[in-house]
Amino acid sequence: HEVLEGPARQAAERLVELLGEALEIAGSGCAPGGPPAPPGLAGDRFLVRPTMLRLVPVVVRTVRRELRRDSPVFRHAVRLAAVATLGYLIASRLPLGHGYWAPIASVMVMRPDFHRTYARAVARLAGTLAGVALATGVVRALGPDAHVSGALAVASAGLSYTLDRTGYAYTQCFTAAYVVFLLGMGGQAWEQTVPERVVLTLLGGALAMLAYVVFPAWETPRLPGRLADWLAATGRYAAAVLRDYAEPSREHHAEMRRALLASREARAAWQEAYDRARQEPVRPRGLTSREAQEAQEALKGFGRAAMLMESHVPRTGSRPVPEAERFAEALETDTAKAAVAVREHRNPDWGRVEEALHAWEDAAGGKGSPVVRREAELQKRALEDLATAVSRTPLERDVGSAREEQRVRATVAAEGNGSGPEHQGARHR
């Protein structure tokens, strides 16, 4: 209290509250240094494992949420079911035994994204070839009986589990050797098992890769939509924070927390799609790799500015900041329209945000908290960076860069003349 004051002290108090909550949860509700809480009280609620019956509504909600055509989980389920069925039907028609190896290979290598499916398919084929070659060499050199083959099968299975985290190819190498030794215990020669294993593994991997040609699930074309969802969610969160300034209340606090969670969920969805798209052999559609990277950094800056503003949110019953309401409305409206523009490959416009910010500065006239206005300026700059990043042509990007340079020069000149918002706040203090 002797060192910090104003917004810094408020942020420190909020940090102390959050640390206290984290300590309470980590201690399972126990008082620091005290005895454990009795079962059934506060200390038990963090460690309860839900029963199967309680998980049924969770499963139903999850299935219902993913039961749509554009869901990657639904598309993967359809693709997996079709490939496994087709693989079994084809393998059963071939003059080979163990036809179930083909659908098993497809199921083991297929993943919702192309990159991991391709990597696992190559690793499985390479590991299978190495494993059957190793097992074949051992069988031809030693000519083991059933007992020795059983011991070798157990050793191969143990090495397969031991190297599980080392790499998929190593695991498959010893799994293939395990299968050869295991079938050798039953009297089957390596000439019967090795060709079948290789051919059916190749068939399952080929069907898994072919599925992405017939029924693709590329994330690259969906990047603009993911970016638009993240932009709209972050805009709602920033607007909720500003409304808490305009009218501090418990309802606005709760709305702000809900908007924050929605923003984090949208950001996680974008990050997952962006990471997958970077590994896909697809030409960019709507967003190039550079544009996506720059847009991501701009939206991260927008979210950081909103979180910085949240750390200074006044407590319930504090003096309101009425100018923040108009800026919140403009911010939410412009980000919602900009999300539609990004989804439709058009340039976003921040006209309302600029007008609301200028009106806020004119209405304040050097009065009020300069910290809030400064953080609002940070949000506007992040949105301008986003508009520059998603510009459709190199000429528009150059114009955006020129405007940014001109704005920076104007800000530096205004601060040099003592007319910037920071100098106005200093004169007011």
Q: Could you report the per-residue pLDDT of 108-158, keeping only the tens digit for each? A: 888 888 888 888 888 888 888 898 888 888 888 887 788 888 898 899 999
Ranges of H-type helices in 344-392: 351-364, 370-389
Q: Which residue has the higher pLDDT, 215 or 2?
A: 215
Nearest 5°: CA angle at 169, between 164 and 173? 90
**Residues near 334 by Cβ (< 8 Å), separated by ≥ 6?**
235, 348, 349, 350, 351, 352, 353, 383
Q: Residue 153 in contact with residue 181, Cβ under 8 Å?
A: yes
Identify the pLDDT of residue 360.
80
What is the domain partition of the chain in residue ranges? Answer: 73-214, 220-428
Residue 424 has pLDDT above 50, yes or no: no
Mean pLDDT is highest, among 24-28, 309-313, 403-407, for 309-313
Residue 312 has pLDDT above 60, yes or no: yes
**Residues near 306 by Cβ (< 8 Å), separated by ≥ 6?**
234, 237, 238, 241, 379
Instruction: For 81-100, give one letter per residue: b (16+ CB within 10 A) or e.
Output: eebbebbbebbeeeebebbe
User: 327-359, pLDDT tens digit by residue?
Assistant: 889 999 999 999 998 888 888 888 888 888 888
Q: How far is residue 402's CA from residue 409's CA, in Å, rounded to a whole number?
A: 11
Q: How far is residue 102's CA from residue 99's CA, in Å, rounded to a whole number?
A: 6
Q: Residue 83 in contact with residue 111, Cβ under 8 Å?
A: no
Look up residue 285 and give its DSSP letter.
S
CATH class (in words) of the domain with range 220-428: mainly alpha
Q: How far is residue 260's CA from residue 263's CA, in Å, rounded to a whole number?
A: 5
> What is the per-residue DSSP string for 10-74?
HHHHHHHHHHHHHHHHHTTTPPTTSPPPPTTSGGGTTSPPPPHHHHHHHHHHHHHHH-STT-HHH
Confidence of residue 411 (pLDDT cuts 50, 70, 90): low
From the list 160, 203, 207, 199, the residue with the least C-alpha distance to 179 is: 160
Identify the pLDDT of residue 404.
47
From the list 243, 241, 240, 300, the residue with the least C-alpha distance to 266 is: 300
Q: How far is CA 63 from CA 66, 262, 345, 413, in A?
A: 5, 20, 32, 58
From the list 204, 265, 202, the residue with the least C-alpha distance to 232 is: 265
The per-residue pLDDT of the chain, averaged, comes to: 80
From the list 225, 210, 209, 213, the residue with the least C-alpha distance to 285 is: 225
Q: State the average pLDDT over residues 36-64.
A: 72
Mean pLDDT is highest, among 34-43, 74-83, 407-416, for 74-83
Identify the pLDDT of residue 113.
81
Q: Residue 226 in contact with residue 270, Cβ under 8 Å?
A: yes
Confidence of residue 287 (pLDDT cuts 50, 70, 90): confident
Q: How far is residue 47's CA from residue 35's CA, in Å, rounded to a whole number?
A: 17
Q: Residue 129 in contact with residue 106, Cβ under 8 Å?
A: no
Confidence of residue 11 (pLDDT cuts 50, 70, 90): confident
Residue 194 has pLDDT above 90, yes or no: no
